[in-house]
Structure 1
Amino acid sequence: MTFDLRQLTAFTTIVATGSLGRSADALHVTQPALSRTIKRLEEQVGAPLFERHSKGMQLTAIGKALLPHATLLLREAQHAAEEIDAMRGLVKGTIRVGAVGSIASMVLPLAIGEVLKKHPTLQVQVIEGVWDRLTDALITHEVDLALGMAVADTEEICAISDCRWEDTSYVVAAADHPLRQKKNLSLIDTLSQPWALPPQGTGPYEQMQQVFHDHGLPMPNSAVETRSVMVLKSLVTRSGFLSWMPAPMFEVDRKAQLITALEIEGATGTRTLTAFRRRHGILPGPAVRLLEELRVLTVTK
């Protein structure tokens, strides 16, 4: 079955807006014209894609099955156009990248800044999240590069071996936290304090768990679990929580004397970070430009 990209664009736009009228406005066509486009796609598929209601349009089971394929086909078409433009010397398109919090806080902004200085016609879309979110985004073509902790390759994604660097994580607290007054501070002293941490199963949590295990200690009770870097920082600075963060994530806060590492001997964890791509297919030209800058920035990290 051969699909018309204009029909798929109409289909995904209606899904995104939930309304024929809003979709027609977004696509700059009339509602009757948009209805005819969807009807032709439904005739090709051989089944209705939407259930029409007074409050909008909802996907049928067939529509739900078509959606991920339509999204992928449209993204691949856009990637192909960007790659052809790059080969013709027309540097334009969109860099789609996902990153864990520490990379999104330091290395990625520097790389983006350098890319846009050289190629100001490019645009950038960034997703920040934990690794499972980034893996899904990479597989579904929502992003073309995913930056995170080095893990084993899979059948669908693989690490880019010449783009690797390290960072170190610490127990962090607000600059005025009472523990800073204690002499000979040890890791065991932190167990009685309120903690805010990423959820269990995430890379930072497992790294911290290993540090506590190496000291013969259980993990502290986590009063708050969140994937939000902003929430973690706010709990540390405003509510007296302890947390576990890689240095790049709180570098700006350290310079502002808001968050700093507690001086606890041996309470650090180092990890290797890298860039990942889909194992199959061509890396789009805009993503290649970002990767080039990441290599330069991380070679000495």
Structure 2
Amino acid sequence: MGRDFETIPLYSQANVLFAAQDHPLFRKEAIRPEDLLEYPWLALFAVNIALAGIDAYFSRHDLPNPQVAIQSNSIQIALKMLTDHQCIACMPAPLVEAFPDAGLREIDIEGFRWEVPTGLTYRKNMADFATIARICRLLKRETRKHAAR
């Protein structure tokens, strides 16, 4: 973001494919990359990073990218589309873990799971503000606790 900003890395975030627990893909003996193209895809608000990971995966398999049927800024709408309309989505694993009753299941397909560093970025000239320093301490402590689980 430039030299005026400081980034504190907190953890690596796994990004994986999810679908409803009763999605037809899970009735297959083995899910192939081309099977993923038979269903609508949903993209969340942070679409650029996910689309790059999706593109890399399908490119490695000499397949076209899936067509994104819907983009959502709302996690509630995204969860509803996944469970009610057989959509597939690449989503951060921690986001799905935050909704354990959503009825989603990871599509475990070789070579798709990827990670991205996740952290906190703030303006360097704000580092001495008590609120920023407290937020940094709290986030570091909470991510350490989560990583220890």
Range of TM-score over shorter length: 0.7 to 0.9
- Residue matched to 2:18: 172
1:93-108 alignment runs, 5 A limit: none
One of 224, 234, 252 as aligned partner of 2:70: 224
Q: Secondary structure at the match of 1:202?
A: helix
Q: Which structure has greater strand proportion?
A: 2
* Distance in structure 1 (CA, Å) of the matches to 2:97 and 2:45: 22
Give the TM-score normalised by the residue count of structure 2: 0.84
- Residue matched to 1:258: 103
- Is the contact made by 2:44 and 2:91 (CA closer than 8 Å) also made in structure 1? no
Q: Which structure has greater helix proportion?
A: 1
User: CA-to-partner distance for each residue in 1:45-96, whole Å, 9 max, x for gaps?
Assistant: xxxxxxxxxxxxxxxxxxxxxxxxxxxxxxxxxxxxxxxxxxxxxxxxxxxx
How many residues align? The count is 146
User: CA-to-partner distance for each residue in 1:251-282, whole Å, 9 max, x for gaps?
Assistant: 143x3260111121222111111110103344
- Is the contact made by 2:41 and 2:89 (CA closer than 8 Å) also made in structure 1? yes
User: CA-to-partner distance for each residue in 1:217-271, whole Å, 9 max, x for gaps?
Assistant: 2210111122332222111012221111111111143x32601111212221111
* Distance in structure 2 (CA, Å) of the matches to 1:200 and 1:293: 24
Moved over 3 A (4+): 198-201
1:65-76 alignment runs, 5 A limit: none
* Distance in structure 2 (CA, Å) of the matches to 1:212 and 1:164: 29
- Residue matched to 1:195: 41
Could you tell me which runs of 5 or more consecutive residues in structure 2 were left unpaired when the two chains were aligned: none
Once the 2 structures are TM-superposed, how far is the Cα of residue 199 of structure 1 from its aligned partner? 6.3
* Distance in structure 1 (CA, Å) of the matches to 2:95 and 2:85: 19
* Distance in structure 1 (CA, Å) of the matches to 2:45 and 2:139: 28
- Is the contact made by 1:195 and 1:223 (CA closer than 8 Å) also made in structure 2? yes
- Residue matched to 1:24: none
Once the 2 structures are TM-superposed, how far is the Cα of residue 283 of structure 1 from its aligned partner? 4.0
Q: 1:278 to 1:200 in 2, by over 3 A?
A: closer
Q: 1:174 to 1:283 in 2, by over 3 A?
A: farther
* Distance in structure 2 (CA, Å) of the matches to 1:159 and 1:243: 28
- Residue matched to 1:156: 4
One of 64, 80, 93 as aligned partner of 1:234: 80
Identity %: 22
One of 121, 125, 142 as aligned partner of 1:280: 125
Residue identity in the other structure for 1:226: S
Q: Secondary structure at the match of 1:249?
A: helix
1:73-152 alignment runs, 5 A limit: none
- Is the contact made by 1:168 and 1:246 (CA closer than 8 Å) also made in structure 2? yes
Once the 2 structures are TM-superposed, how far is the Cα of residue 201 of structure 1 from its aligned partner? 5.9
* Distance in structure 1 (CA, Å) of the matches to 2:47 and 2:19: 23
Q: Secondary structure at the match of 1:265?
A: coil
Moved more, 210-219 or 286-295: 210-219
* Distance in structure 2 (CA, Å) of the matches to 1:156 and 1:207: 28
* Distance in structure 2 (CA, Å) of the matches to 1:171 and 1:282: 37
Q: 1:191 to 1:156 in 2, by over 3 A?
A: same
- Residue matched to 1:289: 134
Residue identity in the other structure for 1:244: C
* Distance in structure 2 (CA, Å) of the matches to 1:191 and 1:240: 12
* Distance in structure 1 (CA, Å) of the matches to 2:78 and 2:15: 14
Q: Secondary structure at the match of 2:64?
A: coil
Structure number with the bigger relative contact order (C-alpha 8 A, sep ≥ 6) is 2
- Residue matched to 1:119: none
* Distance in structure 2 (CA, Å) of the matches to 1:285 and 1:212: 46
- Is the contact made by 2:18 and 2:88 (CA closer than 8 Å) also made in structure 1? yes
Could you tell me which runs of 5 or more consecutive residues in structure 1 were left unpaired when the two chains were aligned: 1-152
After superposition, the CA RMSD in angstroms is 2.2
